[in-house]
Amino acid sequence: MSCRIAPLLALPRRIAYHRGVFTQDPPGMLPGGSAHPPEGLPVPSANRKKEVDEAVKDVDFDKKDYQIEFDTTMGKIVLDLFPEVAPGHCKNIIGLTKIGFYDGVIFHRVIKGFVIQGGCPEGTGYGGPGYQIKQEFNDRLHEIGTLSMARSNDPNSGGSQFFICVARCASLDRQYTVFGQTADEASKQVALKIGAVKTASGDRPVQDVKINSAKVIETAK
């Protein structure tokens, strides 16, 4: 996915992004990798929708609270989910996490003072789960630690790529679907630490920052 928050604008070989919004990759590329990739880039990702649907059959937002824990090479990030405003996005990340989709995936784009973006299985910003989900824009703000869905110019093109804000990103409000927030100060600090790493072309970290493993934490209400 390209990093672009708000209307995604495409920059050559990088996620469209206009200083306030994360997007998914160059023009024509959709989060789920369903668009035709430019020559030399990976083919569309395999569709994992059936696996995800099976994994979330028992998810019950009325009876349980859900968190996602990313155990990264720079520390753990625990994220509270917001099913009250974005149930589809919350179920989607829960399902992807349960099937191990994020294990070993890197943060392929880091923009200092803006966001850190991950969730592409290819590590290029062009990959996804092989399907897309509908937007659930809401009134939650893009603040430090906010979890939001990356997308292409199509509002309904989210898939697996997400971003976490490392600053207040007002330009992304109501343009991208907010569906979670860092659960504690320690998690926020890890996100900020990742957001400060040295990057090369395309905002890619010089040294890979990887999600070693991801898990779903369920707590009865």
pLDDT in tens, 112-128: 999 999 999 999 888 99
- Considering the entire predicted model, what is its pTM? 0.84
| Residue 34 is assigned to a structural domain of this protein | no
The CATH number that applies at residue 199 is 2.40.100.10
Give me the number of domains the chain comprises: 1
| Residue 1 is assigned to a structural domain of this protein | no
| Contact criterion met (CB below 8 Å) for 81 and 68 | yes
Backbone angles phi, psi at 194, to 5 degrees: -65, -40
| Residue 200 is assigned to a structural domain of this protein | yes
pLDDT of 66-118, one tens digit each?
999 999 999 999 999 999 999 999 999 999 999 999 999 999 999 999 999 99
Residue with tokens 């880039």: 41
Antiparallel, parallel or unpaired: β 115-118 and 162-165: antiparallel
| Residue 7 is assigned to a structural domain of this protein | no
| Residue 8 is assigned to a structural domain of this protein | no
| Residue 10 is assigned to a structural domain of this protein | no
157: containing domain: 70-220
| Residue 14 is assigned to a structural domain of this protein | no
The rounded percent of the chain whose pLDDT value lies above 90 is: 75
C-alpha count within 13 angstroms, C-beta hemisphere, residue 150: 38
User: Could you give the CA distance from residue 196 to residue 24 in angstroms, rounded to a whole number?
Assistant: 21
| Residue 54 is assigned to a structural domain of this protein | no
Give me the pLDDT at residue 152, please: 87
54 CB-near residues (< 8 Å, 6+ apart): none
151 CB-near residues (< 8 Å, 6+ apart): 1, 8, 22, 23, 24, 30, 31, 135, 157, 158, 176
